[in-house]
Amino acid sequence: MIEVTGLRKHFGDTEVLRGIDLQVKKGDVHCVIGPSGSGKSTLLRCVNLLEIPTEGTVRIGQERLEFGKGRVKEQAIRALRSKTGMVFQRFHLFPHLTVLQNVMEGPITVKREPRAHVLERAERLLDKVGLAEKKNAFPESLSGGQQQRVAIARALALEPDVLLFDEPTSALDPELVGEVLKTMRSLAEEEQTMVIVTHEMEFARDVADEVLFIDEGRVVEQGPPSRLFTQPSAKRTQQFLAKMLEASR
C-alpha cells in the first residue's frame, strides 16, 4: 500500500529527514512516535506531498514518484496526493460552511462528483463519527473534539486509500481526546489503512500494528507495540518511553 524509501528532506541547510524507510500494508495502522522536532510531521507532509522530498521515493498503491532527479510533474503529484486523506492538528474547517457542507466540499470541488451522490456519503460519514445531528451546525458552535471528528469525516469523504493523522488530539482539551481516539479506534477495527503521528502512547500500544520511533530525522527503532513498548532495544527509545511514562503519571 505505502512504500517510502530513502526519504530525505532539507529546509535550506537543515536536514530534517535523513533517509526514512517506511512500509505499510493495506489495512494496517502504523503509529509514529518521537520527541518534538524529530521530523514526524514532516514525514507525513512528504508522504502526501504537501512538502516535496529532497530525495527518495514514495509509492502509494500504483502511484510511485522519485525525487532528487529532476522536477516532478504537478499532475503526478496530484495523482499520488489523491490517494491520501490528511487530518491535521488544527481542524481547518471552513467557518462559513455548515458541517455537512464542509464534508461535501472536497468531493464536489476537487473530484467533481455529483452533489446528490456526495450528499448521501457525507451524511453516512457524519453518522459514522457520531455527528449526524450536527450536520446543519457551523464549526464555531462545536467543541474541539467535534470539529476534529468533522475533519475526519471530511478526509474520509474523498475515499482515500490511506489516512494520515498529524497529532490529531494535540490541540484538544484532555476531556475531548477520548471521543476522537474512539473514532480512530473504530476506523482501525474496520481495517482503514492509517499512519498516525501521536503522543498518545496507550492508543499506539492498543491500536498499532507497527510503531516507529523517530529521532533527529531517523527511524531509531520500529516493531510491533507488544515488543517496542515493553522491550525497546535502542537506548534512545528507552529514554523517550521512560519520560513519556513519567509525564503520564
Q: How many Å apart are CA 219 and CA 67, to the nearest integer? A: 20
Between strands 14-24 and 2-11, the pairing is antiparallel
Q: How many Å apart are CA 146 and CA 43, to the nearest integer? A: 26
Work out the percent of the chain whose per-residue pLDDT is above 90: 88
Residues 201-214: pLDDT tens digits?
999 999 999 999 99
Looking at residues 26-37, what average pLDDT do you find? 96
Looking at residues 187-199, what average pLDDT do you find? 96
What is the per-residue pLDDT for 90? 87
pLDDT at residue 70 tops 90? no
What is the per-residue pLDDT for 201? 93
What is the per-residue pLDDT for 171? 85
Amino acid at 189: E
Looking at residues 159-186, what average pLDDT do you find? 93
Q: How many Å apart are CA 237 and CA 212, to the nearest integer? A: 10
Looking at domain 27-40+81-248, does it have CATH number 3.40.50.300?
yes
Looking at residues 141-170, what average pLDDT do you find? 96
What is the per-residue pLDDT for 249? 59
pLDDT at residue 93 tops 70? yes
Average pLDDT, the chain: 94
For the entire predicted model, the pTM comes to 0.94
